[in-house]
Chain A
Amino acid sequence: MSFKNVRVKIDELKTRAALIKNLQLSIGNVMEETWEEHVGPTPFPSVTSLREWDMKLLKRYKPYYLPFCELCCLCTFGKCDLSEGKRGACGIDMAAQQSRIVLLACCIGAATHIAHARHLVEHLIEKFGRSHPIDVGGVHVKLEAPITRLVCGVRPKTLGDLEGILDYLETQVTHLLSATHTGQEGNNLDFESKVFHAGMIDHVGLEIADIAQVAAYGFPKADPEAPLVDLGFGAIDINKPVIMCVGHNVVPTVGIVDYIKSNGLDGQVEVCGLCCTAHDTTRYYPKAKIVGPISWQIRFIRSGVPDVVILDEQCIRTDALNEAQRIKAPVIVTSDKNCMGLPNRTGDPPDTIVDDLITGKVPGVLILDPELVGEVAVRTAVKVAPLRKKFKTLPETSDVISGAKLCRKCNNCKRVCPQDLDIPEAMETAANGDLSLLADLYEFCIGCTRCEHVCPVELPIHSFIVKAGEKQLKAEIFKIRSGRGAIQDTEIRNVGSPIVLGEIPGILAAVGCANYAKGGREVAEICMEFANRRYIVVTSGCAAMSAAMYKNGEGKTPYEMFTGNFEAGCIVNVGSCVTNSHIAGAAIKIASIFAKRNLRANYEEIADYILNRVGAVGLAWGAMSQKAASIASGFWRLGIPVIVGPHGAKYRRMLMGRKDREEDWYVYDARTGERVYVGPTPEHLFYAAETKEEAMVMIAKLCMRPNDTTKGRAIKLTHYIDLHKRMYGKIPDDIHMFVRTKADIPITMKDEILKILEERGWKETRIPDPTLLPRLIRRRKEE
């Protein structure tokens, strides 16, 4: 069947009457006759279909604007100064402008994922055929595409089915992007609603991308025992030719691995990666290695270890070509998104391309055929490795010392360093032969090289830091469990009840980029803290790598210390950024598999379910990208709060609840229709924390949900209070807002808490069957 035609028909129906009686039947017929589940109210939602739901969220979680720029320069009317109540020449005000920029970011993010998905699907159809089945977990995963089912109301069975869904996504992104044009949307809340839509669309794109690659490439299929693979600079075998792959789209790297395997070179060439391509490469080829998150790009190139550099798409250093040239490593760019000014050699015979790269006739080439990439990359690496002899640009210790002597203490470096690292001070001690202060910076340096561009004496500052931190760099040898993909239906069945009742205190998803304010170790520490507290901890993307970069006394990394099953006390790596869809998918599956809610095109009800019952929190501790913004907004619309790190403040808009406004925290009791106060659960939808300690307390707090049973709430409160006492040195002053009946009080803290409740004039309430949707109220008489 083709979804393309379906959508047109649905749109026609919807324009005539939104909820006419026969609509469900009609859509059911055109969509899929064999699927019994009836179609919910919002199949293939348009930009405004879920606006009412969005406004409900935005009423409680008010946008808090933090302009990162007070000007607008988007059209030739500008620049316009929008500060202090002024409007731009087009009439826009500051609030709308900020939300417009957020929408722009989310459109960029969504477009990036959807284009990535489109490329994957097109390529995989060409290779495996349109009728290749979507199997992401065999008998363990019947619900293959929860987000797609929820949003679109269709269930894709084959690769070919994904095309029509992508058509829909691309249309939505175009509509959303158009709203940011001068003189379009003018209301900040409507912009925010569109932001949510962009996020939801983005999540479908993520899901399509991952289920396509899992199905076609045979990645681990929802496998809790996905192989443990190597991670870290020190894990790379420098005695072999090394191919370094950077980006997010695994297709060209698959070409490389296939070539290696089919030419008997297995074990002779080292394939390693950075960012999500690395994750996905290990899912295809567990012998591949992960160097680390995005911040390792420059240090790895400068180390001279890579013999060939392969760039695909997203989060690639745009100066990677220059850096690679300096270590004499040929570059192959492989994506139409990122051609780097290199000649397109896709039509040329491999021999000539390889020759040109080895002789240095060209510094790099563009090859758009992944199989050709495979052949050229491997053959070039094998031949170039003995020639370049790991030629590096990292300095020797003596170079660092003599260089540091030239430092003028001008502070330029410190003042452009996003981490405000005290480089001048470290240079001073380095000039005297002591590199320890420089080495101390290693952990916090995000490898941006901004410092180097402003140094009046042109010191390669980042290289100095890496050289000083060399011991640490070389000791980076860790294990990470390869991305397992989806969560099994059976796992959901097992944890559904304890999560919804609150007995598993929460799900923590540590996701996103590596723009950490104080190093990546904080991610590992947070993950372990919550796994030890028997939360379900899932990881993805660069955060999943950071979570691996820790060893306990026995030399075990977190993925070896904790189980890979989706259960209390786990640390589960789902995989690359596109596998964030499985995290959202797990929350959706709880509503469907455990609570038996109708999923199909039933977005609002499921989001309402998750907001009120599923204690999940996202932590994007180093969130940097526009993709991270759109991923976060997909979680917001589903009712899942997201915490970002300090740099996340620059996303310029938070969604903050007000626990001091009692009226904001009422829900309907679906049993009676009565409005019941449920306290600030969850208190915020999006916010940036200043420190790790603050984030940890907030994670525990944001896991509380109105539906928690008394037993569950007592468990959640125990963790919240315990962490609060440890980090803040005192008991929280808002406990009374989270205690509904005395049975909620953790027994061990009973006296202490009762006293506080009394002081605060606490009144007992009751636990409703919570919903924000009046239509879900079942009057008692009907029961």
Chain B
Amino acid sequence: MSLIAEPWQRAEVAGTKKALIINKPEIVAAMIKRAKRPILVVGHQVVETELSEGEKAIDRIIELAKTAEIPVVATAHIIKEFLNRGFNPSSHMSIMEIGSRLQAPDWTGLDGMGAYDLAIFVGIPYYMEWVILTGLKNFAQNLKTVSLDRFYQPHANWSFPNLPLQKWDEQLKLITNLLKEREEGTA
């Protein structure tokens, strides 16, 4: 696995603190397990990214979300794609709406049950996600953020390094498998 921890977009250099690298899937699986209030924010690019076996990234994300039993927010218009695949996300909002809500100290979540402690992002255009994560880093300091995209997002707490498509796909599958194992283990 290439572990180049530098921003994918060359000029989008980070501040003084950069995201830790997800160098094994266990990290993400453990974070999801440990989180009391996680949320997964999925952008439109998961519909545009074709994976090797003719599948799209959205399919992989649905598997992951189902296994992790994590609330999903679909951004842009891709709620439609989820529904077409028989998966019903908890909510749909624009990326700016969910980003600003996560940043608002008085927001108590989609269910009104309190603030989230872990926000995972995938499929948002690189530069949009970049600034969303910078915003959360600076204005929602109690929230841990993870980028599951295949490009290094320096302003998340945790991010994959820049990964080739196949490697990325493998990682997503592994995370899902790990979550499954644990589920079965605890059952």
Residue ranges of A at the interface with B (Cβ–Cβ < 8 Å): 62, 64-71, 81-85, 94-95, 412, 415-416, 418, 420, 454, 517, 646-647, 649-650, 652, 654, 656, 658, 660-661, 684, 687-691, 693-694, 697-698, 727-730, 733
| A416 B135 Cβ-Cβ under 8 A | no
Residue ranges of B at the interface with A (Cβ–Cβ < 8 Å): 8-11, 14-17, 43-44, 75-77, 79-80, 83-84, 91-92, 94-97, 99-101, 103-104, 106-107, 124-128, 131-132, 134-135, 137-139, 141
Residue of B nearest to A647 (CB): B127
8 interchain pairs, CB-CB under 8 A: A62-B100, A65-B138, A68-B131, A85-B138, A94-B139, A412-B10, A660-B107, A690-B94
| A690 B124 Cβ-Cβ under 8 A | yes
| A646 B100 Cβ-Cβ under 8 A | no
Known A416-B11, A646-B128, A650-B131: A83·B76 in contact at CB below 8 Å: no
| A656 B138 Cβ-Cβ under 8 A | no
CB-defined contacts of A647 to chain B, threshold 8 Å: 127
| B134 A66 Cβ-Cβ under 8 A | yes
Known A729-B80, A729-B83: A658·B135 in contact at CB below 8 Å: no
* Interchain nearest-CB distance for B138 vs A (Å): 5
CB-defined contacts of B99 to chain A, threshold 8 Å: 64, 66
| A416 B10 Cβ-Cβ under 8 A | yes
CB-defined contacts of A416 to chain B, threshold 8 Å: 9-11
| A697 B77 Cβ-Cβ under 8 A | yes
| B79 A67 Cβ-Cβ under 8 A | no
| B84 A729 Cβ-Cβ under 8 A | yes
Q: How far is the CA of A760 from the CA of B15 in the complex (A)?
A: 44
CB-defined contacts of B76 to chain A, threshold 8 Å: 689-691, 693-694
Assuming A65-B139, A654-B96, what are 4 further A-B pairs, CB within 8 angstroms? A67-B131, A81-B16, A85-B141, A690-B94
* Interchain nearest-CB distance for B137 vs A (Å): 7
Tell me what chain A mostly uses at the interface: helix, strand, loop, or mixed. mixed
* Interchain nearest-CB distance for A359 vs B (Å): 41
Q: How far is the CA of A658 from the CA of B106 in the complex (A)?
A: 11
CB-defined contacts of A84 to chain B, threshold 8 Å: 17, 137-138, 141
* Interchain nearest-CB distance for B52 vs A (Å): 15
Q: How far is the CA of A66 from the CA of B14 in the complex (A)?
A: 13
| B15 A650 Cβ-Cβ under 8 A | no
Q: How far is the CA of A65 from the CA of B135 in the complex (A)?
A: 6
Partner of A67, one of B91, B101, B106, B134: B134
| A654 B80 Cβ-Cβ under 8 A | no
CB-defined contacts of A420 to chain B, threshold 8 Å: 8-9, 126
Partner of B95, one of A70, A95, A690, A733: A690
* Interchain nearest-CB distance for A463 vs B (Å): 21
CB-defined contacts of B138 to chain A, threshold 8 Å: 65, 67, 70, 82-85, 94
CB-defined contacts of A71 to chain B, threshold 8 Å: 15-16
Known A66-B134, A690-B125: A698·B94 in contact at CB below 8 Å: yes
CB-defined contacts of A646 to chain B, threshold 8 Å: 125, 127-128
| A730 B127 Cβ-Cβ under 8 A | no
| A688 B128 Cβ-Cβ under 8 A | yes
Q: How far is the CA of A134 from the CA of B133 in the complex (A)?
A: 50
Residue of A nearest to B80 (CB): A729
Q: How far is the CA of A595 from the CA of B101 in the complex (A)?
A: 37
| B79 A730 Cβ-Cβ under 8 A | yes
CB-defined contacts of A728 to chain B, threshold 8 Å: 77, 79-80, 92
| B11 A687 Cβ-Cβ under 8 A | no
CB-defined contacts of B135 to chain A, threshold 8 Å: 64-67
| B9 A415 Cβ-Cβ under 8 A | yes
Residue of A nearest to B92 (CB): A728
Q: How far is the CA of A688 from the CA of B44 in the complex (A)?
A: 14
| B104 A658 Cβ-Cβ under 8 A | yes
Residue of A nearest to B14 (CB): A70
CB-defined contacts of B106 to chain A, threshold 8 Å: 661
| A70 B134 Cβ-Cβ under 8 A | yes
Q: How far is the CA of A420 from the CA of B106 in the complex (A)?
A: 36
CB-defined contacts of B103 to chain A, threshold 8 Å: 64
Q: How far is the CA of A412 from the CA of B84 in the complex (A)?
A: 37
Known A64-B100, A67-B131, A70-B134: A83·B15 in contact at CB below 8 Å: yes
CB-defined contacts of A688 to chain B, threshold 8 Å: 96, 128
Residue of A nearest to B9 (CB): A415
| B127 A727 Cβ-Cβ under 8 A | no
Q: How far is the CA of A658 from the CA of B107 in the complex (A)?
A: 10
CB-defined contacts of B9 to chain A, threshold 8 Å: 415-416, 418, 420
Partner of A649, one of B97, B107, B127: B127
CB-defined contacts of A81 to chain B, threshold 8 Å: 15-16
Q: How far is the CA of A81 from the CA of B91 in the complex (A)?
A: 36
* Interchain nearest-CB distance for A94 vs B (Å): 5
Known A67-B135, A70-B138: A727·B80 in contact at CB below 8 Å: yes
CB-defined contacts of A67 to chain B, threshold 8 Å: 131, 134-135, 138
| B77 A691 Cβ-Cβ under 8 A | yes
